[in-house]
Structure 1
């Protein structure tokens, strides 16, 4: 940009910048410290993030919502016996406890195209707020695909979906899980898709659609991305780094037709 352009460009205020982002910018100062209002806002957001991590996981309410959508539900738990264990031992959240594993093995499930797993993750509050509503928007975008029973998993990390998907003979697993709360987004939901799920896969082998929340990705936007990734993953036999999200590159009519 030339000096003349710099002189004629309209000046933008800090207030206008704050209106564009929830990030903490232009906070000001009081002496060598933050202004009291800014400090109180930070403390409140930090408390909300902590509350989201420790919020109760409303399993019965989620199961009822999924049943209303016509989905059979199964509840399982990871090997983390309590929330404190879950937070201290991420590895325990990646494996089913013996009772849950036996319950899924006893189902003698028929192979299915897609299975939806809903896990509490690091923000049960996000799952309680968004998971059922997202599934309601997603299901109509999966016509022609066989959707297996929905699994509600307590004490879940993302990789727990791989073991669940393998036991239920799913071609692709969709894990909806509460994301790590941020100071501006304590109730953010993430969706992780894995083709041919099985224990031992890495994050490089799954796709993620993140920041599903009121101030982030809408249910419809997220559902279009998830459905596109699911269909393309099934068609190409891959997920993760081998499958790039190109859903936004298609015309709106084409996206609708393909979903």
Structure 2
């Protein structure tokens, strides 16, 4: 590796966030690379343990225009317990703040393993989803869920009275990205639904990851497919890119 020109690695780094071509000093890495690694590791740890500013997030969510958010929590009584006991994060503590109705779609914002990601991108992603979905479906007032795992959305969906629940959740931070969101979509959700019954869109963190508008477009396509199929999960595929390619080909042929 030491004989390869630095420009070779510079070119490759443009297409990946992975740590490649780090070089070496004797039997170890250069000090700069060691410090970069430690900084990224610290950022990932901080993202996991960062307290969620519920009031600030609720204010941002309220500005989206689909109602003031209800705030609920799981049966995990603290961040430490949440990290040790994933099972408690899947069960609600109290559902009384939620207003029940009959809606097509419910939107849940959960800090998950990266409260930082939800604070950085949650309101922007929610706004893009509402813009994409509001003309097609009725949307329940939003819910903010603290110390929550994905499966908590199944309980919330029943309480909200929705046919499809979209859980926006902070993804596990890594050494390349500490503020990435994921979306988990479940059609006809019920407590006990397995992960095979969900569709996931991950790596949402513009400008380096998936953008808000693109993510919302994929969600809209998945909801339409789930309603036609009567199910989400492994039986439902994201065809949004294929449809766009077909449309482009058709224009080229004409």
TM-score (norm 2): 0.90
Match of 1:163 in 2: 155
**SS of residue in 1 equivalent to 2:95:** helix
Shift of 1:29: 1.2
1: CA distance, partners of 2:227 / 2:107 = 15
Shift of 1:88: 0.4
Root-mean-square deviation (Å): 1.7
- When residues 84 and 150 of structure 1 are mapped into structure 2, their CA distance, relative to the original with a 3 A threshold, is same
Shift of 1:86: 0.3
Return 121-130 or 66-75, whichever deviates more: 66-75
Shift of 1:101: 2.4
Shift of 1:254: 7.0
2: CA distance, partners of 1:169 / 1:112 = 6
Gaps in structure 1 of 5+ consecutive residues: 1-11
Aligned counterparts, 1:145-164, within 5 A? 145-164=137-156
- When residues 103 and 254 of structure 1 are mapped into structure 2, their CA distance, relative to the original with a 3 A threshold, is farther
**SS of residue in 1 equivalent to 2:234:** helix
2: CA distance, partners of 1:219 / 1:248 = 16
2: CA distance, partners of 1:41 / 1:187 = 17
Match of 1:95 in 2: 91
Match of 2:116 in 1: 125
Gaps in structure 2 of 5+ consecutive residues: 1-6, 249-254
Return 85-94 or 19-28, whichever deviates more: 19-28
1:77 pairs, out of 59, 67, 73, with 73
Shift of 1:252: 8.0
1:191 matches 2:207 = no
Instruction: Determine if contact 1:120/1:178 at 8 Å carries over to the other structure.
Output: yes
**SS of residue in 1 equivalent to 2:87:** helix
After superposition, the C-alpha distances for 1:108-139 in whole angstroms (9 at most, x for unaligned) are x2211000000010000000010110111111
**SS of residue in 2 equivalent to 1:242:** coil
Match of 2:4 in 1: none
After superposition, the C-alpha distances for 1:208-253 in whole angstroms (9 at most, x for unaligned) are 0100002110111111111111222122211010100001111389
Aligned residues, how many?
239
Structure (1/2) with the larger helix percentage: 1
Aligned counterparts, 1:1-259, within 5 A? 13-72=8-67, 73-97=69-93, 100-104=94-98, 107=99, 109-142=100-133, 143-214=135-206, 215-251=208-244
